[in-house]
Amino acid sequence: MSNPIHEEIQKAISQHDVILFMKGLPERPMCGFSARTVAALDALGVSYAAVDILPDPRIRQELSTISNWPTIPQLFVNGELVGGCDIVTEMYESGELAETLGVQAPSDAPDAAPVAAEPGAPPLQIRNDIAS
């Protein structure tokens, strides 16, 4: 039996070296965990694709089936689940995230994972290289 949402998620994961499934979009995260994950990727200057899971609840359900991970955001690198906000934050602070992404942290990147903008603050400035 065909499952188009499952197939599209799998296709997106395989087509992008770095892809973040999140609540909202990088320019306008809709939860603090997604915003913090975006801030960590931005601090490393990484190009990535992003998928907003909010418009269709089936996206979250199928994503969790694929990844066997219940929470959002979910970061995938080279087709493999890296983890959610807590894991990304820990990896950022240890330097493992930059290594996993194959980048060198910019000299001005903070040692601690960046904190996302507070609600009501201007949107984070994120480089998002996927087409809508």
Res. 116 pLDDT band, cuts 50 70 90: low
Task: Quote the Cα angle for 86-35-118, to 5°.
Answer: 115
Counted domains in the chain: 1
Tokens representing 36 are 């913090």
| CA-closest candidate to residue 111, choices 88, 87, 86, 94 | 94
Asked whether residue 16 is assigned to any structural domain, the reply reads yes
CATH of the domain at 69: 3.40.30.10
Tokens representing 54 are 């909010």
Asked whether residue 15 is assigned to any structural domain, the reply reads yes
pLDDT, tens only, 45-57: 999 999 999 999 9
Global pTM value: 0.83
Containing domain of residue 39, as a range?
4-101
Round to whole Å and give the CA distance between 33 and 89. 10
